[in-house]
Amino acid sequence: MVKISNLNKKYSENIGNFDINLTIPDGKVYGIIGPNGAGKSTMIRQILGFIRPDSGEIIINEVNPVTNSKKLMEFTGYVSGEVSLYNNMTGIKYLKLVHGLKKDADWDFVELLLKHFDINANQKIKKMSKGMKQKIALICATMNKPKFLVLDEPTSGLDPIMQEQFNDLIRKLQKDYGTTVLICSHIFEEVAKLCSQVGFIKDGRLIEEFEVEKNGIDQINERFKKLYTKESVL
Residues 191-230 close enough to bind ligand ATP by CB under 6 A: none
Rounded to the nearest 10 degrees, the angle between the axes of helix 91-101 and helix 107-116 is 150
Q: Alpha carbon of 12 to those of 9, 17, 27, 41: distances in Å?
A: 9, 10, 35, 16
Q: Which stretch binds ligand ATP (CB under 6 A): 31-39, 133-141, 142-150, 217-225?
A: 31-39
For residues 43 and 141, which CB has a smaller minimum distance to ligand ATP in the complex? 43
Interface residue with ligand ATP, options 31, 39, 65, 216 (CB under 6 A)? 39
Task: Mark the segment that binds ligand ATP (CB under 6 A) among 23-31, 32-40, 99-107, 207-215.
Answer: 32-40
Identified binder of ligand ATP from the candidate list 2, 33, 42, 128, rule CB under 6 A? 42
Contact 7/54 with Cβ under 8 angstroms? Answer: no
Segment 58 to 87, residues that bind ligand ATP, using CB under 6 A? none
Nearest of 31, 75, 65 to residue 45 by alpha carbon: 65
Give the Cα separation of 132 and 227 in Å (integer). 35
Determine if 107 is a binding residue for ligand ATP (CB under 6 A): no
Q: Report the DSSP pairing between strands 29-33 and 180-184.
A: parallel
Report 10-29 residues binding ligand ATP (CB under 6 A): 11, 15-16
Among 36, 84, 129, 215, binds ligand ATP (CB under 6 A): 36
Smaller CB separation from ligand ATP, 41 or 61: 41
- Residue 191: count of CB within 10 angstroms of its CB: 23
Phi, psi (deg, nearest 5) at residue 206: -80, 105
46 binds ligand ATP (CB under 6 A): no
| Contacting residues for 9 by C-beta, under 8 A, at least 6 apart | 16, 17, 42, 46, 51, 53, 54
41 lies in the binding site for ligand ATP (CB under 6 A): yes
Q: Applying CB under 6 A, what is the total number of residues that bind ligand ATP? A: 11
- Rounded Cα distance, 7 and 58, in Å: 8
- For the CB of residue 206, give the shortest distance to ligand ATP in the complex, in Å: 12
Question: In the set 21, 23, 37, 171, which binds ligand ATP (CB under 6 A)?
Answer: 37
CB atoms closer than 10 angstroms to residue 157: 11
Q: Which stretch binds ligand ATP (CB under 6 A): 9-17, 63-71, 154-162, 188-196?
A: 9-17
For ligand ATP, give the closer residue by CB, 51 or 89. Answer: 51
CB environment 214-226: b (16+ within 10 A), e (fewer): eebeebbeebbee
Q: How far is the CB of 104 from ligand ATP (least distance, A)?
A: 30
Residues contributing to the site for ligand ATP (CB under 6 A): 11, 15-16, 34, 36-42
